[in-house]
Chains A and B, each alone.
Chain A
């Protein structure tokens, strides 16, 4: 026992300090008001802070989770929005996220844009957004780093994989949005064009197999979402489409680098949700088309890969502030090779091409602005694990368990 404690202290010394600091902040927040901060008229300030603890039986998720657990999962955000006139809103959010080797906590602009509504009346609304805007993708992407808006500690990784999160996160560009209100429900349309943020080595790891010397850059990309909502969310149906274009520019001649090439990533997501007073049922299905062009490296041949993801999730509020959920989540990197047998090669075991995750979890709303969560995952496959945390994929285990706890404060 003493040995374990010693080991634990050594491994987590740095994180422990930070964790204690975060927990102190969380305790301090108890005396703060739960509602938004409105220093002057039409200006609102909101924020969130969350700290997680993750322990896995094998494999690494958010740091050294298989070695007595990891505290290296933390999200801190602060945003401000100002509406000087009813038709114009300016918003920005700063975000710092720690997640193992995948995210180092550096502060960045999560979104920052100007929203102008050209038309706003009781039956419809049309407007434009200019700047860095969160990408509408499925039901949860726009607020994926805000623990309180998620159904669980971690979003279903088949669709919202954190591995290549930067791709789907937000884009810099111009977006159009519209809302049509009828007695039968409301229709929302969002269309956007901008440059995705791909400057992340894990995006390269995931799309090219490893981090090459050259640069993978985002090109003009497009996305759109059509959402139908009845009674403010009793029923929600959505279809999302995106086309993400990326170019790889080599920085050296072969064999030191690969030739320049381009990648087109096209996901289609179908989402459905029913929200009743005590229970809700959610299902999402995604088909992901990945096209490689102009590459001539032996490992990256020009081809089209079709990936497939889906999950089904049920939640139940058994007391006023207690909620339980169960979810089954499946990811196939290639739907024509579901067990990964064709793609299997040294350093890339078959189980790194799929993941099936059964999750059970609990949520407790301690106050109106504090939340505590715990969940257990039983996973077969390692497709959504990062190569940054699991540098040698041949050492990963196909069957593994994960338990996580998360505490959050938001206002």
Chain B
């Protein structure tokens, strides 16, 4: 009896399963494509650099690298710790968890060996600040069309 049941259902199961897998794969692909597009590292147009390595990006947002190669001061802008874009940025671009990043800044700030980045409350504020402060670096969800802002390539 058991044998008959399995032989009847057998041809259907793989089809349903593979259909399900394909849908999930397509979905995850769409999501990951969307995420790839998301988050651009932006800087003030005064900066001569176009390309930053992952390591340099970590050192900049870790508040341990203070100057651009031409000697100008780096000014770091971030969104608040719980902002979804900040969480995504920290995890995907810096490979670090937001609470871990906060601990790094606290260690610098309360031992006198560094300063904290400037926190902003919205993406709109981020766009305005990065456009107006020389040497500024920050991040946004999508591409920007502003002559005062440049988008960095990450090596």
Chain A interfacial positions (CB closer than 8 Å to B):
34-36, 38, 44, 46, 48, 77, 79, 81, 83, 85-87, 89, 91-93, 111-113, 115, 117, 120-123, 125, 129, 133-134, 142-143, 146, 148-149, 179, 181-183, 186, 231-234, 275, 277, 317, 368, 410
User: Quick one: closest A residue to B91, CB to CB?
Assistant: A277
A34 to chain B: which residues have CB within 8 Å?
80
* A181:B55 contact, CB within 8 angstroms: yes
Q: With an 8 A cutoff between CB atoms, is B24 at the interface?
A: no
* B96:A232 contact, CB within 8 angstroms: yes
Name 20 interchain pairs, CB-CB below 8 A, sorted by A: A34-B80, A35-B119, A36-B109, A77-B110, A85-B73, A86-B74, A89-B115, A92-B112, A93-B110, A113-B112, A120-B67, A125-B64, A133-B112, A148-B106, A179-B64, A181-B58, A231-B58, A233-B96, A275-B100, A368-B81
B97 CB contact (under 8 Å) in A79, A112, A117, A275? A275
* A368:B111 contact, CB within 8 angstroms: no
Can you list the 7 inter-chain pairs with the closest CB atoms, starting with the nearest?
A: A91-B112, A232-B96, A142-B111, A122-B56, A86-B66, A35-B119, A86-B73
Bound: A181/B55 CA distance, A: 7
User: Quick one: closest B residue to A47, CB to CB?
Assistant: B110
18 further interface pairs, Cβ-Cβ under 8 Å (given A111-B112, A232-B96, A317-B99)? A36-B118, A44-B116, A81-B109, A81-B115, A89-B115, A93-B110, A113-B112, A117-B66, A120-B65, A121-B65, A122-B56, A142-B110, A142-B111, A146-B106, A181-B55, A183-B55, A232-B62, A234-B100
A113 to chain B: which residues have CB within 8 Å?
112
* A368:B82 contact, CB within 8 angstroms: yes
B56 to chain A: which residues have CB within 8 Å?
122, 181
Interface size on B, residues (CB 8 A): 40
A133 to chain B: which residues have CB within 8 Å?
112
* A277:B97 contact, CB within 8 angstroms: yes
A36 to chain B: which residues have CB within 8 Å?
109, 116, 118-119
A142 to chain B: which residues have CB within 8 Å?
107, 110-111, 113
A146 CB contact (under 8 Å) in B53, B81, B110? B110
Q: With an 8 A cutoff between CB atoms, is B101 at the interface?
A: yes
Knowing A36-B119, A234-B95 touch, does A79 contact B109 (C-beta < 8 A)? yes
User: Quick one: closest A residue to B97, CB to CB?
Assistant: A277
* A91:B113 contact, CB within 8 angstroms: yes
* A134:B106 contact, CB within 8 angstroms: no
User: Quick one: closest B residue to A140, CB to CB?
Assistant: B107
* B111:A143 contact, CB within 8 angstroms: yes
B55 to chain A: which residues have CB within 8 Å?
122-123, 181-183
Interface of B, secondary structure class, is: loop
A234 to chain B: which residues have CB within 8 Å?
95-96, 100
B66 to chain A: which residues have CB within 8 Å?
83, 86-87, 117, 120
* B109:A46 contact, CB within 8 angstroms: yes
Instruction: Count chain B CB atoms within 10 A of each CB in A36, A85, A182 and give the residue with the most.
Output: A36
A125 to chain B: which residues have CB within 8 Å?
64-65
Bound: A179/B62 CA distance, A: 13
* B104:A232 contact, CB within 8 angstroms: yes
Knowing A83-B66, A125-B64, A232-B101 touch, does A115 contact B110 (C-beta < 8 A)? no
Interface of A, secondary structure class, is: strand
Q: With an 8 A cutoff between CB atoms, is B59 at the interface?
A: yes
User: Quick one: closest A residue to B52, CB to CB?
Assistant: A122
A231 to chain B: which residues have CB within 8 Å?
58, 95-96
B104 to chain A: which residues have CB within 8 Å?
232-233
* B112:A93 contact, CB within 8 angstroms: yes
B110 to chain A: which residues have CB within 8 Å?
46, 48, 77, 79, 93, 142-143, 146, 149
Q: With an 8 A cutoff between CB atoms, is B69 at the interface?
A: yes
Shortest CB-to-CB span from A50 to chain B, Å, is: 12
A117 to chain B: which residues have CB within 8 Å?
66
Shortest CB-to-CB span from A381 to chain B, Å, is: 31
Shortest CB-to-CB span from B110 to chain A, Å, is: 4
A111 CB contact (under 8 Å) in B100, B111, B118? B111
Bound: A149/B112 CA distance, A: 14
* A122:B100 contact, CB within 8 angstroms: no
Bound: A170/B55 CA distance, A: 31
A186 to chain B: which residues have CB within 8 Å?
59
A122 to chain B: which residues have CB within 8 Å?
53, 55-56, 59, 65, 69
Bound: A202/B109 CA distance, A: 29
Bound: A143/B110 CA distance, A: 6
Chain B residues 66 to 84 lying within 8 A of chain A, measured CB to CB, are 66-67, 69, 71-74, 80-82
Bound: A186/B69 CA distance, A: 20
User: Quick one: closest B residue to A317, CB to CB?
Assistant: B99
Shortest CB-to-CB span from B64 to chain A, Å, is: 6
B106 CB contact (under 8 Å) in A35, A112, A149? A149
User: Quick one: closest B residue to A127, CB to CB?
Assistant: B113
Q: With an 8 A cutoff between CB atoms, is B103 at the interface?
A: yes
* B116:A46 contact, CB within 8 angstroms: yes
- Kindly supply a per-residue 1/0 record for chain B positions 86-98, scoring 1 wherever the CB is within 8 Å of any chain A CB and 0 otherwise: 0000000011110
